[in-house]
């Protein structure tokens, strides 16, 4: 790897001029800056990270707290897309990301201690237990923090509009003539509460009463549990004509239950999902669902956090709601 001295000699300028050119100082001409950057790329020169951190008081490293509270981890497709987009946008702006853990080697640390140990410039909380004392302490620290899908204390938040997305989906199902609509929802999270509110508000606005037994809970992305809850719905004296699953993956369990008792999907029982995944190869129909703009969420989160780190965005509570899009398939039958 080339050194700054070698780069200086190659460009025919002093070491200080090279440093100023690479760090964007205004007292360097565009011609000199372009020359230094061109030669740096050709020679494979990278500034010493430790020296750069000491000088600029920045490490160009962002901490990511990601705990799905399940065994899915990065296999959770929704969060995986968000994290990939976040990482790509951060990298384009010169930042690395590091996952926040409780241990450094054999030493146990709190989340905040880990962040301080690594000297993170900022932190993105993608998923966590926000009632956890360690999470609260991290959010209330001096470190710039941005949260995804959760509005929390003084943190800047990027939230997918689950309330609006569910209203779109529920309204469409009503327009198809369905009145007996069941909703298998996820666990008790802000995302779930917003979806339930969107569903029930839409029903109330249209004069449709939903029996309490039509609301069932099943973990997100768990087709077996969704199948179990669907079987219970189908055993009711007045079974629903349409079932909304917690997400598109869980819709496979809904379909399995319908077929298990000898009924046909769409013809006998309509279904809808949530997420915007292409599940037609698994369930045999094009699923009506709501697409969450996962890549846009990750990209916007990185942009906002970097602006907070670099002082171009105020460190104050604010929330951005990312719109969702209804995708109409052929899984919701038009009722007579």
pLDDT in the model for residue 282: 80
Measured at the CA of 274, the angle between CA 335 and CA 256, to 5 degrees, comes to: 70
- Around 307, how many Cα atoms within 13 Å sit in the side-chain half-sphere? 12
Which CATH architecture is the domain 162-292 placed in?
3-Layer(aba) Sandwich (3.40)
Q: What is the mean pLDDT of each run of 10 residues along the chain (336 residues)?
A: 82 86 77 87 70 63 80 69 93 90 72 90 89 90 90 81 96 98 93 95 97 95 95 97 95 96 96 87 89 92 92 71 93 93
Task: Report the DSSP pairing between strands 145-148 and 181-185.
Answer: unpaired
Task: Return the pLDDT at 49.
Answer: 52
Is residue 125 within 8 Å of 146, Cβ to Cβ?
yes
Whether domain 4-47 has CATH 1.10.260.40: yes
Please tell me what DSSP assigns to residue 265.
Answer: B
d(CA 208, CA 199): 11
Residue 19 has a CB neighbour count (10 Å cut-off) of 19
What whole-number distance in Å separates Cα of residue 305 and Cα of residue 122? 7
CA atoms of 38 and 35, how far apart (whole Å):
5
- The answer to whether 4-47 and 61-160+295-323 have equal CATH topology is no
Beta bridge partners of 147: 125, 157
The H or E element containing residue 162 is: helix 162-175
Is the distance from CB of 121 to CB of 62 less than 8 angstroms?
yes
User: What's the CATH class of domain 61-160+295-323?
Assistant: alpha beta
Both tokens assigned to 233: 């719905």
According to the model, what pLDDT value does residue 147 have? 92
Alpha carbon distance 68, 86 (integer Å): 17
Give residue limits of the domains in the chain.
Answer: 4-47, 61-160+295-323, 162-292
What is the per-residue pLDDT for 26?
Answer: 72
């Amino acid at each position: 790897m080339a050194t700054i001295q070698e780069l200086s000699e190659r460009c025919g300028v002093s070491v200080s001029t090279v440093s100023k050119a690479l760090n964007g100082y205004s007292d360097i001409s565009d011609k000199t800056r372009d020359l230094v950057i061109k030669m740096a790329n050709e020679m494979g020169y990278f500034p010493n990270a430790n020296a750069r951190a000491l000088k600029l008081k920045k490490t160009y490293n962002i901490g990511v707290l990601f705990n799905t509270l399940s065994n899915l981890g990065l296999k959770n497709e929704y969060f995986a897309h968000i994290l990939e987009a976040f990482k790509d946008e951060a990298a384009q702006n010169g930042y690395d990301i590091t996952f926040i853990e409780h241990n450094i080697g054999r030493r146990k640390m709190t989340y905040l201690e880990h962040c301080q140990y690594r000297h993170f410039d900022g932190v993105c909380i993608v998923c966590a237990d926000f009632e956890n004392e360690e999470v609260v302490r991290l959010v209330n620290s001096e470190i710039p923090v941005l949260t995804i899908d959760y509005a929390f204390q003084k943190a800047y938040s990027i939230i997918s509009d689950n309330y609006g997305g569910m209203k779109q989906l529920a309204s469409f199902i009503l327009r198809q003539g369905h009145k007996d609509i069941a909703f298998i929802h996820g666990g008790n999270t802000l995302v779930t509460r917003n979806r339930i509110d969107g569903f029930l508000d839409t029903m109330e606005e249209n004069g449709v009463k939903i029996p309490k037994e039509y609301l069932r809970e099943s973990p997100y992305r768990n087709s077996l549990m969704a199948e179990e809850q669907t079987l219970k719905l189908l055993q009711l004296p007045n079974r629903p004509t349409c079932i909304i699953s917690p997400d598109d993956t869980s819709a496979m369990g809904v379909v399995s239950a319908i077929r298990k008792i000898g009924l046909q999907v769409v013809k006998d029982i309509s279904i809808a999902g949530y997420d915007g995944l292409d599940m037609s190869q698994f369930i045999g129909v094009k699923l009506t669902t709501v697409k969450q703009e996962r890549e846009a969420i990750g990209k916007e989160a990185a942009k906002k956090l970097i602006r907070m780190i670099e002082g171009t965005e105020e460190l104050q509570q604010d929330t951005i709601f990312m719109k969702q899009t209804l995708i109409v398939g052929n899984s919701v039958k038009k009722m007579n």
